[in-house]
Structure 1
Amino acid sequence: MALAGLAAVGTWVCAAVAQQGAVVERLPRGRLVAAQFAAGAANHILPAGAGAAVVNVRFLTRCGLSTRRSATALAVKAAVGGIVRCVLGVALLVVAPGTVRLPVRVPHGPVLLVPVLAGAVALTVVPTVARNGRLGRAVTRALADVRAVHRCRARAWALWGGSVGFALLHAAVVVAVVRAIGLGLPVSRVVMAYLVASGAAALLPTPGGLGSLDAALALALTAAGAPGPAAASAVLGYRLLTGWLPMAPGLVVLALLVRRSAL
């Protein structure tokens, strides 16, 4: 449980690194980490990540960015986080093919065709949208911000590396809690359970994923081979370290940041 707690603390640092990577300007490090800690607490009050979004937009605007650029930075960070989870899941399936056993064999051809078609649609739709009116100008400016971030190697490494670290450390919290309660599940199955559950919970607008992530993670751990009561205990331990224990200190930090005009 001590290792799980250390991993939980590391998630806020990785969130700060990824947020720094989403903007070209240098952000104050201490306040950036504090803002991510406060955003985690706010995220458990408002649905669908709105709490964290409000805190981060306010923080970035206080650092001199416009509201548009702040919103773009959050969108880029969220998109990279989703891509990272998908890539980690695919990489895990390649490295450990027995992690997930599908009841029906799916042909590789149609599966590989999906991302190709998605890429073709994106290449067709995005330039078309970019040529049309106000929305087109907004998309053009957003793409310019994304290109500016990726032209700076340090920012690109921070954005992608912080996002990878954030996902892996959250998975590490689940792995450590599973070990603490004596479950002998393979690490690869636990990590996959977290990746699948966090992706599913993102589709349901509940505050901090409460309820949606809990149910999805418990179901995923049960599907990975954990008994129902043990899966529920693992979810409770994960929630305790990443949500409930940091809630009160996070709200205190949020109030201090507001009082000091950092938000």
Structure 2
Amino acid sequence: MTAAAPNRGQEIADTERTAVIVEDDDDVRALLEEVLSQAGFEISSAPDGRTGVELVERIDPLVTTLDVSLPDIDGYEVCRRIRAVSDTIIVMLTARTDEIDTLMGLDAGADDYQTKPFRPRELRARIEAIVRRQRRAGAASPAPSPAAGRTAADGLAVDPAARTVAVDDVAVHLTRSEFDLLAALAGEPGRVLTKDALVRVLWGDEYDVGTPVTSADHRRVEVHLANLRRKIGDDPGSPRWIRTVRGVGYRLDQGA
């Protein structure tokens, strides 16, 4: 285990890459430590949920990997507790493959949800993609004009620069991934964005067409959009904003 990095309140430089691993299986924990260390992260590990929450609160790491099946607290509850004290990137890891488990993980505040056994190279690539996406969002112009980039659609207001969303003037809290998907749709109202395109929004690789998109990636987009619709009060059966275009993707309308 290596030393912790400075508090998240400071600007995160490329060399200040810290990660917390919450995993009770010794072998899996050792593999995660190896993968993230090779990616340049300084690692702190916890064998249970309570210790994991304490580490995240103290260190405020850039990335946290979180096992769902922990000996003391359910991983979903650990995720909610972490999300209440930190905006760390959370990647949940589990042997469970049911769709409801994915939904629960993303709904608890996770940025990604990977099943075991995972491929180390793929896990590393996904974490790096989320990190790039976060840095890209943080590199936005600090002083945009009052209306720059904002989208308003029948009571839905999206401000990409401030990363805020409001429905009928009431602020709505979205996860990082939910916001990025909504901002992508809101940036091109009326245009259908394919599931492949939305997957690449989540990856932060909109222009990289070399990485294949899988059905699991499509499902991840569907789960994020289901959570997004629920939070903004958009009924899929009678949508106010986000419409599903069967077999293609989604589009954001200006309202019925």
Do both proteins adopt the same fold according to a TM-score greater than 0.5, normalized to the shorter chain?
Answer: no
Which has more strand, going by share of residues?
A: 2
State TM-score, norm by structure 2: 0.29
Which has more helix, going by share of residues?
A: 1
**Relative contact order (alpha carbons < 8 A, sep ≥ 6): 1 or 2 greater?**
1
